[in-house]
Amino acid sequence: MLSSPAPTRNRPSRRSLLLPLQLLVALALGCQASAGGFEKKAAADAEVVEQPSPVVVGTVERGAITATISAASTIEAERQVTVNAESVGRLVDLSVEEGDKVKEGQVLARIRFDAQANSLLRANTSLAKAQTDFQRIEQLYNERVLGHEEYQKARNSLDIAELDLRDRTREMKNTKVTAPFTGTITLRKVTEGGFVTNGAELLQITDFNTLVARVFVPEKELDRVKVGQEALVIGKAAKGRKGVGKVLRISPTVDAGTGTVKMTVALPQELAGGQGFLPGMYAEVTLTVDHREDVALVPKGAIVHDEEQTYVFVPEGDKARRVRVELGLQDAERVEIVKGLAAGEAVIVAGQTGLKDGAKIVRVDAQGRPEGEAKPAEAKPAEAKVEDTKAEAKTDAKVEDTKSATKEN
């Protein structure tokens, strides 16, 4: 018998199996991508929520303001010189010390003049001989015995002798060291008995009546400062030094590098000396350049600068509005508002850094607490706590006694 062939089973191909798997993977990835997108969107929505910025709100006030210029300076003496030796020799008769007051022309020291005296004597002798020779030759020249050449030679010898005598006389005079002006010896650089050469530094003399403070003010303030204007001078390191000086000079040029002008402020004589200012002291000079009464004022911290413009922020409900303002005079803490705000208006005085126009705000006080929030209760002192503990103990004892009585009954 012929057997019929066994029926064959259809097996799915590998390609047909891969397709459903790829679809499942794609769907899974799509779900994950969708979930990630939703999460990112939710995070972005959360970031969009603007948090209000805490700010301190003040009020535009009216009052007076004084504009000043302050600059650091070192006190100097305009008349302060170093006395130098003008001769050579050993120093003798040094009669002054640091702190001594001297007068103009006073002899301060001497230089031994043995060599100078001998030179002066020789110069006198040479001059006498030159005068005798010239007189004799002049007579012969007038008698036409000698020619013009011999006469001119004798004339030159006499002139040279006279010049040499003047030089030797000056050298003799220079052996005396004298004060060039009235002042105080502020530095002694030599000791008596030392050998000095021509040009050696001996003493320093200072006239304390010529103390000044040199300050540099901005170019823009030049028109508000004038000669004779008063200036307050305060000692910084040495306390207790304070007084009023006057502008003595204003430089006619502007320093191109710094944009400043040099001013010299003269100190009155009563501010100089041991209990006053001394050369080399550090001081602060303040000049009043303008004063105005009854103007709108805000704290300096309320001003916001944006390039060349100035602004303030004012509260409007729970938002901040930026307002452009024009400034006037300024002092150490306040600034005048010329245009943009009026007295009595509210203005944000702290917390405005980084604010934008229309930003949300929340009002707080100077301690950072929201306005209207009650202050935290103050802690009780230790004694009060002890009394409270005692009272609680007594109450507990009474309760225990009541419970015991109830049980007995």
Token pair, residue 49, equals 């929520």
**What average pLDDT does the structure give for the chain?**
80
Sheet with 309-316, strands from edge to edge, namely 304-306, 309-316, 319-324
Residues in the chain, how many? 409
Which range has highest mean pLDDT (16-30, 130-144, 335-349)? 130-144
Which residue, chain included where needed, has tokens 């001594």?
A: 100
Reported as a single tens digit per residue, the pLDDT across 243-269 is 899 999 999 999 999 999 999 999 988
Enter the tokens of residue 44.
Answer: 């972005």
State pLDDT tens for residues 93-124: 998 999 999 999 999 999 998 888 899 999 99
pLDDT tens-digit readout, 376-398: 554 445 444 545 555 554 545 54
> 111-127 burial, b if ≥16 CB within 10 A, otherwise e?
bbbeebeebbeebeebb
CB of 81 closer than 8 Å to CB of 104: no
Report if pTM > 0.85.
Answer: no
* Predicted local distance difference test score (pLDDT) of residue 408: 47
Checking DSSP bridges between strand 304-306 and strand 309-316, what pairing results, if any?
antiparallel
